[in-house]
Amino acid sequence: MRRLILIALPYLWLLALFLVPFLIVIKISLSDVALARPPYMPQLDLSAGLAGIKAFFSELDFENFFFLTTDELYWRAYLSSLKIALVSTLFTLAIGFPIAYGMASAPREWRPTLMMLVILPFWTSFLIRVYSWMGILSNTGLLNNFLMWTGIINEPLQIMNTEIAVYIGIVYTYLPFMILPVYSTLEKLDDSLLEAAEDLGCTRTSAFWRVTVPLSKPGIIAGCFLVFIPALGEFVIPSLLGGSQTLMIGKVLWEEFFNNRDWPVASAVAVVLLAILIIPIILFQRNEQKQREAEQ
């Protein structure tokens, strides 16, 4: 009995507030937009019994998904989200790896402090961290003022409201997600392996590429997925830093829902986004599982 309650309570909660809502999204993505409340068709009419259910299913179709393929806006938004997420993941790796490496090579007694310094920004509001770049990157912002004061440039650089600002925002906010998994694999690395490589005639550089990098691969992969997956559906960063010309699918979904009030298309956008995300998510899970098995 107790066991049943223990299972049922969280189970039913998630069923009602995670799985069912998601099924509703799928259902509405197959519906048509209508000038009604709620603004979509068809409505399930249970009072008509089996015939009502039948009529309901016969009116569902994939029209919205066809619409997504015909309108250039959507597939450009998907492609541009993929590109932005991929490029910023690579930048995060390029910046995060040296930091993680530096942490792992720091004296042992520094490491907990360094760890905390990397985690601390994660506890600070995401929105504030993105916002902090607005004052730096804008045309009259600190970066432009500084560069013009030093005489490097005469005209302010347009960084704010471009994709570059979005890259900076993503790298900045997701950097801890890259540093921590990479650091945890580097920290476990056995020094004697590097000594052995050097004894066998490797230079330090080639020992780094042939020993350190391959052994830290699980951390690198985990870090890349932890950045790539949330970056793909990002909304706050492109809407604060990217301006109107940066297309990202999270922003398109938001606008489709709140500004255009086209719920069926917004739902279809969500379903396709999730279909794209499933591949990296499964790969990520597999990587985690392999790591767990390797540890045991």
Q: Which of residues 95-154 bind another protein (CB under 8 A)?
A: 95-96, 98-99, 101-107, 114, 116-121, 123-129, 131-136, 138, 140-142, 145
ω into residue 112 within 30 of 0, thus cis?
no
Residue 135: CB minimum distance to another protein, A: 5
Q: Which is nearer to another protein, 70 or 296 (CB)?
A: 296
Residues 164-183 touching another protein, rule: CB under 8 A, are 172, 175-176, 179
Residue 235: CB minimum distance to another protein, A: 5
User: What's at 127, amino acid-wise?
Assistant: L
Residue 281: CB minimum distance to another protein, A: 5
Q: What dihedral angle (degrees, nearest 10) is formed by the CA atoms of 286, 288, 293, 296?
A: -170
Binding mask 207-236 for another protein (x = CB under 8 A): -----x----------------xx-xxxxx
Distance (Å, rounded) from C-alpha 165 to C-alpha 155?
18
Among 223, 238, 242, 250, binds another protein (CB under 8 A): 250
- In the chain, the largest separation of any two C-alpha atoms, in whole Å, equals 82
Sign of CA dihedral 141, 145, 148, 150: negative
Residue 172: CB minimum distance to another protein, A: 7
Binding mask 63-102 for another protein (x = CB under 8 A): --------------------------------xx-xx-xx
42 counts as binding another protein under rule CB under 8 A: no
